Amino acid sequence: MRLNEWINIKLFQSLSSGLESKNQHSLKNQQSIKLSVITQFFPPDYAATGQLIEELVRHLGYLGIDIEVFTSQPGYAFRTQYAPAVERIGRVRIQRSRTAKLGAGRIRGKAVNGILYTLRAALHLFRARHRNNVLLVTTAPPFLPLVGYLGYLLFKIPYVCILYDLYPDIAIALGVIPKHHWLARLWQALNKKIWRNAKAIVVLSPAMKLQVAANCSQIADKISVIHSWADPDSIVPIAKQENWFAWKYNLVKKFTVLYSGNLGRCHDMDTILEAAKQLQDEPIQFVCIGGGAKRDELIEQVNQLGLSNFMFLPYQDKEVLPYSLTACDLSLVSVDECTENLVTPSKLYSALASGRPIAVICSSYSYLRQLIAEANCGGTFENGDGNGLAQFIRLLSRDRQLGERMGKAGRQYLRSHFTPKIISKQYFDVLARVILSEDVRFMSQNLTE
């Protein structure tokens, strides 16, 4: 018997102990979890959301769940433009649609690409509606949860939403659309309908839970905080002297400060730039790996200032990450103050796994401050405090043992809280509760008939 079938039967047995034997038999024969996942980004796309979903479904497969993933061809950050239209990895079946790449680096182009993918996802859900009994839908693209809502209205498919980012809140905070614009009001109204009908909502931080509950207080009891994660068995500390990536880019003998990931509109790069200006005459190297809306702007500012202590590299293949993430002496994580409660930096968790100290740039009220303090793995700095960040970098460059202690503490904290095994079990529990509640509802209907 498969693991998830056994667990569901045990859950059903405990819940049905007071019912008639016929109903107990009915519960035992209910289907096990058969999961459909809809998300635009999935490897070989480098997008962090896709990398995380790939690891999540793989570990849910280890727990005995059969999974179908509907995604697209690489279209955000990629070297390989095409992947198999259909492939199977263990218990996970992956189906990829065509992808539009209309100005993928611009807001309007991303929006159009996202809309086209959402339409394809809706068609896929219609065709595959009988194959699965629960749907997991992400906010990549931001309006994708609408597919889950429509699937529930038309076919009664229960769905769970993973909220990576909160829209239209982010668009409003960044000044893309006014707060009282008709589009913002429509989007917020749709969000409330989607969230109220979802069987569960997953957010990535306590701050996001507070924000979602403030937007729609009726759903507070169905929101679960499940953090992102990193695999400490895949990303392990490597001494720079033994790291080919560090040798390749001449980082071995320099104190290296690394920013790895998306340089997007929700990330504070100005504070990092200010610290680099103050340290430009010292043997300290800043390395930015990745892409995003602010990358070209930052490169232009660095060139205008004539800074020689900045290096820019593209996104790296997943196989390279264990080396690129450890080719440094300090990792940077930054969140813009205006989007503090609306996004969660997934790069934090891979930085913890790397065994390097972490400097986090965030507001004074950020949940990240408590997390870094509990882990005792680095320092936190308010947005705009480039001087404080520069002083911290100087301290670590002079006291390497302090950095080593912080790095070890951060990695241990990750092992205790944010590994794939720990996090996938939390998702499994959410999905099991959804299936259980659906069977209880079905039984209640039978009893009243």
More confident residue, 115 or 356: 356
For residue 199, what is the DSSP state?
S
> What local confidence, expressed as pLDDT, does residue 340 receive?
83
Is residue 219 over pLDDT 60?
yes
> CB neighbours of 292 closer than 8 A, spacing ≥ 6?
262, 263, 264, 265, 267
> What local confidence, expressed as pLDDT, does residue 98 receive?
76
Residue 97: pLDDT band (50, 70, 90) is confident
CA-to-CA distance for 98 and 439, rounded, in angstroms? 36
CA-to-CA distance for 365 and 402, rounded, in angstroms? 26
Is residue 204 over pLDDT 60?
yes
- Give the containing element (helix H, strand E) for 332: strand 330-334
> What local confidence, expressed as pLDDT, does residue 32 receive?
83
> What local confidence, expressed as pLDDT, does residue 18 receive?
39
The 10s digit of each residue's pLDDT in 139-158 is: 988 889 999 999 999 999 99
Q: Is 33 exposed, middle or buried (0-12, 13-18, 19+ CB in 10 A)?
A: buried
Mean pLDDT of 337-342: 87
pTM (2 decimals)?
Answer: 0.86
| Start-to-end C-alpha separation, the chain | 33
> What local confidence, expressed as pLDDT, does residue 16 receive?
39
Residues in the chain: 449
Amino acid at 371: L
> What local confidence, expressed as pLDDT, does residue 123 receive?
92
- Produce one character per residue of 365-390: b if its CB has 16 or more CB atoms within 10 Å, e if not: ebbbbebbeebebbbbbbbebbebbb
Residue 4: pLDDT band (50, 70, 90) is low
Mean pLDDT of 73-92: 78
Angle between helices 145-155 and 107-127 (to 10 degrees): 20
* CA-wise closest residue to 363 among 385, 347, 378: 385
Amino acid at 290: G
Is residue 442 over pLDDT 60?
no
Residue 27: pLDDT band (50, 70, 90) is very low
CA-to-CA distance for 224 and 201, rounded, in angstroms? 6
> CB neighbours of 88 closer than 8 A, spacing ≥ 6?
94
The 10s digit of each residue's pLDDT in 240-279 is: 999 999 999 999 999 999 999 989 889 999 999 999 999 9
Backbone angles phi, psi at 333, to 5 degrees: -130, 135
Q: What are the E-state strand segments in 190-319?
A: 200-203, 223-225, 255-260, 284-289, 310-313
CA dihedral 63, 317, 273, 403 (to 10 degrees): 60
CA-to-CA distance for 157 and 249, rounded, in angstroms? 51
> What local confidence, expressed as pLDDT, does residue 43 receive?
86
Cis amide bond preceding 44, omega within 30: yes
For residue 142, what is the DSSP state?
T
For every residue of 245-263, DSSP letters joined together read HHHHTT-TTSEEEEEES--
Residue 129: pLDDT band (50, 70, 90) is confident
Residue 5: pLDDT band (50, 70, 90) is low
Mean pLDDT of 224-241: 95
More confident residue, 44 or 2: 44
Residue 51: pLDDT band (50, 70, 90) is confident
Is residue 114 over pLDDT 60?
yes
* Pairing state between β 86-89 and 92-97: antiparallel
pLDDT above 70: percentage of residues in the chain? 86
Is residue 115 over pLDDT 90?
no
Q: Is 280 exposed, middle or buried (0-12, 13-18, 19+ CB in 10 A)?
A: middle
Residue 405: pLDDT band (50, 70, 90) is very high
Is residue 23 over pLDDT 70?
no
For residue 82, what is the DSSP state?
-
Is residue 88 over pLDDT 70?
yes
Residue 19: pLDDT band (50, 70, 90) is very low
- Give me the chain's average pLDDT, please: 87
Give the count of beta carbons closer than 10 Å to the beta carbon of residue 300: 10
Per the DSSP assignment, residues forming a β-bridge with 260 are 289
Is residue 24 over pLDDT 80?
no
